[in-house]
Structure formats: structure tokens, C-alpha cells
Amino acid sequence: MREIKGLIFDFDGTLADTMPLHWRAWQVVTAKYGFVFPEERFYALGGVPTMDIFTLLAQEQGKLGLDSLVLAKEKEAAYLPLLPQARRIERVVSIAEAAHGKLPMAVATGGVRHIIQRVLQQLAIDHLFAALVTSEDVVRQKPAPDIFLEAARRIGIPPENCRGYEDTELVLQGIRAAGMDVVDVRELLRASE
């Protein structure tokens, strides 16, 4: 049995109930540009940076002339007005609160720093985490393990002694590839119902 010395949390859909808000913003931009992006696929790609999803969709749907960075910024602009509706996922936040001051913790998210910091503060949980690693801090994005490895490095704990919390199967694979213990937040939430 491995000794857990640090905790690493995904953000959207793990600590914060923001995925429905992201979905609403995605609908605005995908409708504008004629993308087909079913809700089930959106949730399956949770954790993957917006720009990478737009690149994937553009390749698949023959919209190669579109700039994924511009589209990602439009999606962000559609999301920002919805931020006041973000809520904590109490079952997961309670784990972080219980570990605060006992284990170093980080947030590892495919989101962008200025938005994640804003929501962390809004939810009054920013003080719990020693590090915030975003899509801007690594070259290879989720589901690659890089963001989790960087989070472990920043809290000074070997990856094999970290536990990662995530809400999508695709990104759980990245946590496993980083050599960390994994917690599927979806199972945790079902068990607490």
C-alpha cells in the first residue's frame, strides 16, 4: 500500500460544479460556427483544453480554416458571464478541507489561470492549495500526465506518493500514467448520494 503524501485535484467537474456552465458556453460557439459537438462528447473530453478540442473538431469536421485560439477566446467570453453561478462540489471540497494543513495539495486543470483563480476565490477555497497548475504551464496537455507531474513537483511530493482526483475517464488515464493513486470523482459522488 503506497503512502499518500500529497493530493492533486482537477478543477472543473471535480472541485467546482462548472461543467454545465462550460457546456452552455460551448453551445454558443459551436452553433455559431456549425460544429457538431454532442453533450456526451463534451463531458467525455472534460479536462482537455478548449483550444485542443476546437483543433480536434475542426480537423474532424473539415473546418481547417478556423483559428482554434480565436474560437477558444470566444468560448471563454461566453463562459465569463456565467461564472457567478459556479458552485462547490461539497463532497470533494470537504476532502481538501480535511487535508488542509496536513498534506500539500495542488490544482491541476486544463483551464486558464485567470479564470481558475477567480473561481477558486469565489468559492472561498483558494487558500487550500499550495500550487495551481494550468494549461498555460505545460506543453503537453491533458490527458497527457505532464500537468499532474508538474503539480507533484510544485508541491514537492514524488508522483507515486500523490493521489489525483478527476471526473473523466480520459484524464484518469493521465493520472495513472503519472504513477499516481487515482480517485474517480464520479464514483465518489455516486457513493455519497
192 pLDDT exceeds 80? no
The total of other beta-carbon atoms located within 10 Å of residue 22's CB is: 21
* pLDDT, tens digit (0-9, with 9 covering 90-100), for 31-84: 999 999 999 999 988 878 899 999 999 999 999 899 999 999 999 999 999 999
Element (H, E) at 58: helix 50-60
For residue 141, give Cα distances in angstroms to 36, 65, 93, 99.
23, 23, 24, 27
> By percentage, how much of the chain surpasses pLDDT 90?
87
One domain, residues 96 and 148: yes
One domain, residues 119 and 34: no
CB within 8 A of 52, min separation 6: which ones?
68, 141
Q: What pLDDT, on the 0 to 100 scale, is given for residue 93? A: 98
One domain, residues 133 and 64: no
One domain, residues 40 and 30: yes
By CB atoms closer than 10 A (0-12, 13-18, 19+), residue 26 is buried
One domain, residues 41 and 135: no
Q: What pLDDT, on the 0 to 100 scale, is given for residue 19? A: 94
Q: Does residue 1 lie within any of the structural domains?
A: no
CB 129 within 8 A of CB 120: yes
CATH of residue 126: 3.40.50.1000
CB within 8 A of 2, min separation 6: which ones?
160, 161, 181
Considering the entire predicted model, what is its pTM? 0.92
* pLDDT, tens digit (0-9, with 9 covering 90-100), for 150-159: 999 999 999 9
* pLDDT, tens digit (0-9, with 9 covering 90-100), for 163-187: 999 999 888 999 999 999 999 999 9
Task: Note down the domain range covering 58.
Answer: 19-83
| Average pLDDT of the residues in 134-144 | 91
Distance linking the first and last C-alpha atoms of the chain: 28
One domain, residues 63 and 140: no
Q: What pLDDT, on the 0 to 100 scale, is given for residue 44? A: 87
* Structural domains counted in the chain: 2
CATH of residue 70: 1.10.150
Contacts within 8 Å (CB) and 24+ apart, 43-46: 43/19, 43/168, 44/168, 44/169, 44/170, 45/168, 45/170, 46/12, 46/13, 46/19, 46/167, 46/168, 46/170, 46/171
Catalytic residues: 10
| Average pLDDT of the residues in 92-99 | 98
Name the residue with higher pLDDT: 98 or 190. Answer: 98
Q: What pLDDT, on the 0 to 100 scale, is given for residue 142? A: 85
